[in-house]
A and B are shown apart, each in its own frame.
Chain A
Amino acid sequence: MRPTYKVRPHPTMRHTSGGYTGLMSVPLVAITTPPLDLAALVAEVSSGDAGGHGAIATFTGLVRHHNLGRTVLFLEYEAYEPLAVRALERIVAEVRDRWPRARLGVHHRVGRLELGEASIIIAAASPHRGDAFAACRYTIERVKQIVPIWKREHFEGGQVWLEGATADPDDNDARQTAYRIACA
């Protein structure tokens, strides 16, 4: 099957192990149906750096078997893909503004995800660990604020669309909240 993620072409071709990252360059930002490949994303945020990065922090979000007292069976993720890619690119730009020496990658999966599977992976490389951790944390907070992705929880006894934040990328209060959490 052809990879379904939306990519900005990367100048170097890269061959990594299997999956959606198998035969093409790894984009820093992606919305994808196949399982996520953290090793490939880590390799990509590290690429082209001759020892300048002293740290890589990563975050992996997983499908949990309980939520709000419900027994979760599986999750179904849906995205408005072109806008989701743009929103992720916006977050990458925000991270670059705040932590200019950090290099960030973030991939979000859509479709049906089973318990324990990864829904999102984030990797942030930086000269020092503090910025790497902060960029990583900032990114997941912003994803939950402004990226048009939704999850439908299928649980024992029913299903429900989960709804979190009203997405508004220009809401500075939300952005400052993400900074505060990231730098706490």
Chain B
Amino acid sequence: MRVTVRLFARLRDLAGAGELVRDLSTPATVQTVWRSLVADFPPLAEYERTMSVAVNAEYARMNAEVTDGDEIAFLPPVSGG
């Protein structure tokens, strides 16, 4: 299956892209997607404990299942306001 990954702020800078496509075997979770990203972009690993994740623009947990066509977002600590 194929999912779209969205990266924001410093995560985007570290990966050099704000949007990536990943091909994964099923079943997969957000954690699976994250591991495949970190394998390609090791500096992302520093955010493992502080980031939030979203699936299809809803906050989710690392163990959430992902399905074909999902948009998975990895969000560094926020700084709005």
Given A80-B8, A86-B57, A163 and B76 contact (CB-CB distance below 8 Å): yes
A164 to B79, CA, bound (A): 5
Residues of B near A13 (CB, < 8 A) are none
Q: Using an 8 Å CB-CB cutoff, how does the interface string of A153-178 with B read, 1 for contact, 0 for none?
A: 00000000111111111100000000
Q: Is A132 an interface residue (CB 8 A)?
A: no
CB proximity of A160 to chain B, nearest CB, Å = 9
Q: How many A-B residue pairs have CB under 8 A?
A: 90
Given A78-B9, A148-B75, A140 and B81 contact (CB-CB distance below 8 Å): yes
Given A80-B8, A166-B50, A166-B52, A150 and B79 contact (CB-CB distance below 8 Å): yes
Residues of A near B13 (CB, < 8 A) are 161
A83:B73 contact, CB within 8 angstroms = yes
Q: Is B80 an interface residue (CB 8 A)?
A: yes
A165:B77 contact, CB within 8 angstroms = yes
Q: Is A182 an interface residue (CB 8 A)?
A: no
Q: Is A61 an interface residue (CB 8 A)?
A: yes
Given A151-B79, A167-B77, A161 and B59 contact (CB-CB distance below 8 Å): no
B80:A83 contact, CB within 8 angstroms = no
Query: Chain A: residues with CB nearer than 8 A to chain B?
Result: 61, 77-80, 82-84, 86, 108, 119-120, 140, 143-152, 161-170
Query: Chain B: residues with CB nearer than 8 A to chain A?
Result: 6, 8-10, 13, 50-52, 54, 57-59, 73, 75-81
